[in-house]
Structure 1
């Protein structure tokens, strides 16, 4: 073997060279793919003994250190390097590769993936690093490069999403690869739920099959029978439509290869939120459009959000078995119902209400009371209509060109009215009465308030600003932005003697510091 020279680093070489161990530093990226616990003292001692007897059979891979000429960073072969140091060797055979950080990282990933008996989590990390390092690389490319199926690659990559507690269990062999693959497909929230519930059992997660059955019964949900529309993008905007969600089995058939049903949801939290949003939306719609519909709760389950909404509308839901049945019985009346809780939550059903109860009205109510309730619901319906129109107005403004910095139109009178309303709205309670009286804003409807604010005189604007300024920003913070501006305003009046204030305070400061310095001098003399 050759001894390395300065010119050898200028180009990549295919033959190994002898490099001084003192010239090689372990790279920060060497530990990405391997836990420190994997390189044990006993294993290093055994390897060091072998190196003393036979030398390093497989050269390490290194690259020139960009910031330290003459030094090298280790790419691959940390165990051989550390065992050589332990064996007291001065040099080690090495391949010098003049590569950048990205290529070095990819080489490390490949070398670690191809290690014999590599832990699946380290293998998963290697695949992830390769994909992050090379955006043009696909899982199909990785499958070809490492002679694996794409399903295998995708499942290994998914292991990176295990929560840290399960990763630790996996490294300690407390859980097996089958457990890990099932758990990794779940959200972190669902993984923690599984861990909390199943680890209470005498056999923990149990067999892989037992874990699969638990997840199927308690975590996964069927989108086929879901009450909400899985095509609805707006139901939960952050999540989007279920049809294109990667947590739906049908979207990732390679990842969920053993699951025949295409519409299985692997995110229980998102599924619950969509169900709840659908129930609330449908409840509001039925209140507005179908006052004869009754609202149904399961005997074993409630829905607090929906109950709150119904209470606001003075509607009493019916309780399963207590107030209604799903089949016809003597003394019952057929009605259209909407489930707000239970296994059928979010769905319309035909039920049979006990006694004289119709819709959601208690039996003791008179016709007059029923009429009043209907009127109240009509009034509330109009309020909801206004809220919906206003919501559309806000949405349109958010998307309007006026929200862009390049919009050239000057501030409109209506926008200036909003500006003065913001100033007025900041006023504290103790000055609000004075402002209302001065501006003529007392007990006026919104239309009149708008008119007054668009017609404010310069004197009214000045008074409003000056009162709110001192009310809200009169705190003792001279070094703040608003403190600086208020000082400038005071200086502009010219009849406020700011220099006099400063001189007066400077005299006080001088006397205070003179006393302090005198005391410091006394203390120093006492020490001597």
Structure 2
């Protein structure tokens, strides 16, 4: 809680700094620019305009309302990203759904990362330095990795080189962002560990994810117990699907004329059996070693 309050206070302080005409930061060379790059800052929603080149124009109203409800309860978990266009004026780079949902939720401000002119390398340095800190929770680390992908277009391979982490480690952090926001908040607040989150992420349904999350907390389940719970759920779903899947019956009957084709070819009475599942046997009898040799030569032709 103290950590969250510290971040909020920092965001408010920087917000006041950006609204001071004497500190109009326009590039990374300006005074106090280093305080802006890489930090979360509370911005007024009215000061942010939508990017006119945003390729996405359709937003599902139902999912926006659901996100707005989540934001009312939990706040904006992942800050948006904007670029500074003028004094106290910003243009959205990423996070339009979060911006729209925050307005629906009745918020007046939103946490944001601010990009300023020629700050690309500074942002990389700030994020990489941030990732190396030991006091970050797993979701904060994951968000930093995601920013390097979204804003700097770094590949996971390039990030691996920059931060000195294995690519698989980066992937495991990024996968946490696929968890339901409630569970992400639980990881940030220390109710469950990253190991719990990695187990839950194997289930795509967010409702099932949150059910398991609540069970972990109520029963104080370990990571191993959580993995077993997820496995049992997945096996249960597979078994149900297999049970519900209609059994296809094989309905083919071989005629006497077709049997005669086998008999004429092998020079022996061939027995053909077909089961309901489509599997079967062709039984070719032989009466001596010489007879077997004769049949084998027929198959070699």
TM-score for the superposition, normalised by structure 1:
0.27
More relative contact order in 1 or in 2 (CA 8 Å, sep 6+)?
Answer: 2
Greater Rg over alpha carbons, structure: 1
TM-score for the superposition, normalised by structure 2:
0.44
